[in-house]
Amino acid sequence: MKIHEYQAKELFKKYDIPVPAGGVAWDPPAAVKTAATLGGFPVVVKAQIHAGGRGKGGGVKLAGSLGEVERITGKMLGMTLVTHQTGPEGRRVGKVLVEQGLSIVRELYLGIVPDRSTAKIVVIASQAGGMDIEAVADRTPEKIVKVFINPLDWIRSFHCRQIAYALELPQAAMKQFLNMLPRLYRLFVEYDCSLLEINPLVLTAEDKLVALDAKAGFDDNALFRHPDILEYRDLAEEDPLEIEASKYNLNYINLDGNIGNMVNGAGLAMATMDIIKRAGGEPANFLDVGGGASSEMVENGFRIILSDKKVKGILINIFGGILRCDVLADGVVQAAKKTGITVPVVVRMEGTNVEKGRRILSESGLNLITAVDLKDAAAKVAGLVA
């Protein structure tokens, strides 16, 4: 799960990690009110969307007066911000973060992520802050330092010193850093983060370290023990069909293509999307109804795909194991009767109770195209897009 920068900075404050003074605003008067409390100019206005690269897209602006804060905020709110992470359609800006401007001497990078192959927590730092860290890793890997920590243990002072010296911090900022990094690590562990990133962590003219930006991501599997993070969910950042699907615990992702699909199991669902592409179509979605789906879940999943205007045809691919084919067939028939099928639907079923499932579909009177196996299904999908 992703959250906004201003929310991540709220968490940082809880852990005494310094962030610039400021606050979030939903309209220009509120932005002006916040800016007036900051005690001087320039003031920074930052668009709050769940994507990076905002500066280049015009989502981060400096204001030299309250009038400018008002004008910039007015323009930024409601604009569609396009960055390299939003895709060409961009994101609508619904709120801004208004912050005090700082006199910056150096920009550093500091991040914490889980490393899946070693099962260790890794702290990543670089003197090349303010840039895309993947680009730094690609071009100048020697500028990146990594420290691996066993999650059964804890971050130790030698880990922190290793990073601090690699960053070549001035003596005056050293103590602050050695205090700050363990707190950031504690935030990472206590909140089951999938990512914590400060890019840049700035060194000010006063030799103070401040988190100019803040990015936090959370492990979806661990959200059950962090109800306060769930409060941070911003539905405006999510696709309406994905919100609808999440109500029924369906694993659904909306994509750009023209062929909808419904599958049980994530791996088979991905492979089915690939089959659609090979057949000359483009997948309109990812939908894994899960191993133990009820006919009600199938019905809701099918209804969501049918409501997607760009869908010109649908492929249902089920390998019945725990999810029996007759349960699937019931769900499809229910959804089709309630919503009405307006596009051709190819159904391929195999596995548990397949005969019963096929009978339910053929006796339903619905106009469905049945496929005997995956090869046949692919050919029939190709027929839809031809």
Partner 1 sequence: MSIFINAKTRVLVQGITGREGQFHTRQCVTYGTQVVAGVTPGKGGQEMDGIPVFNTVREAVNRTGADCSLIFVPPAFAAEGIMEAADAGIRIVVAITEGIPVLDMMKVKNYLAGKAIRLIGPNCPGIITPGECKVGIMPGPIHKPGGPIGVISRSGTLTYEVVYQLTLQGIGQTTCIGIGGDPVTGTTFIDCLEAFEKDSETRGVVIVGEIGGTAEEETAGFIEKHFSKPVVGFIAGLTAPPGRRMGHAGAIISGKSGTAGAKIHAMKKSGIHVCEDLGLFGEFCAKVFGHA
What track of x and - describes contact with partner 1 for positions 227 through 266 (by CB under 8 A)?
------------------------x-x-x-------xxxx
Asked if 103 interacts with partner 1 (CB under 8 A), we say no
Q: Are 202 and 210 in contact (CB under 8 A)?
A: yes
What DSSP designation does 2 have?
Answer: B
Q: State whether residue 184 is helix, strand or coil.
A: helix
Alpha-carbon distances, residue 307 vs 167, 170, 241, 304, 312 (angstroms): 53, 59, 9, 5, 11
Which of these ranges, 58-66, 159-167, 173-181, 276-284, lies near partner 1 under the rule CB under 8 A?
A: 276-284
Tokens of residue 45, six digits: 């206005």
Q: How many residues bind partner 1 (CB under 8 A)?
A: 58
Asked if 350 interacts with partner 1 (CB under 8 A), we say yes
Asked if 86 interacts with partner 1 (CB under 8 A), we say no
Q: Give min distance, CB of 382 to partner 1, in A.
A: 11
Residues in 282-341 that interact with partner 1 by CB under 8 A = 282-283, 286, 288, 291-292, 319-322
Tokens of residue 362, six digits: 């053929």
Tokens of residue 57, six digits: 């897209």
Buried b (16+ CB within 10 A) or exposed e, 323-350: bbbbbbbbbbbbbbeeeebeebbbbbbb
Length of the chain, please?
Answer: 386
**One residue of 66, 174, 222, 341 binding partner 1 per CB under 8 A:** 222
Asked if 131 interacts with partner 1 (CB under 8 A), we say no
For residues 169 and 354, which CB has a smaller minimum distance to partner 1 in the complex? 354
Answer positive or negative: Cα dihedral of 354, 359, 365, 368: positive
Q: Give min distance, CB of 278 to partner 1, in A.
A: 6
- Whole-angstrom Cα distance, residue 210 to residue 213? 9
Contacts of 296 (CB under 8 A, 6+ apart): 248, 331
Which residues are annotated as catalytic?
109, 197
**One residue of 278, 338, 355, 362 binding partner 1 per CB under 8 A:** 278
**One residue of 268, 341, 343, 366 binding partner 1 per CB under 8 A:** 268
- Whole-angstrom Cα distance, residue 28 to residue 182? 38
Q: Give min distance, CB of 291 to partner 1, in A.
A: 6
**One residue of 98, 297, 325, 378 binding partner 1 per CB under 8 A:** 378
Asked if 355 interacts with partner 1 (CB under 8 A), we say no
My answer on whether omega of the bond before 88 falls inside 30° of 0, hence cis, is: no
Q: Give min distance, CB of 44 to partner 1, in A.
A: 26
Contacts of 146 (CB under 8 A, 6+ apart): 122, 123, 124
Q: Which residues pair with 260 in a beta bridge?
A: 314
Asked if 111 interacts with partner 1 (CB under 8 A), we say no
**One residue of 88, 116, 171, 309 binding partner 1 per CB under 8 A:** 116
Contacts to partner 1 by CB under 8 A: 85, 114, 116-117, 119-121, 134, 138, 150-152, 189, 192, 194, 219-222, 224-225, 251, 253, 255, 263-271, 273-278, 282-283, 286, 288, 291-292, 319-322, 350-352, 373-378
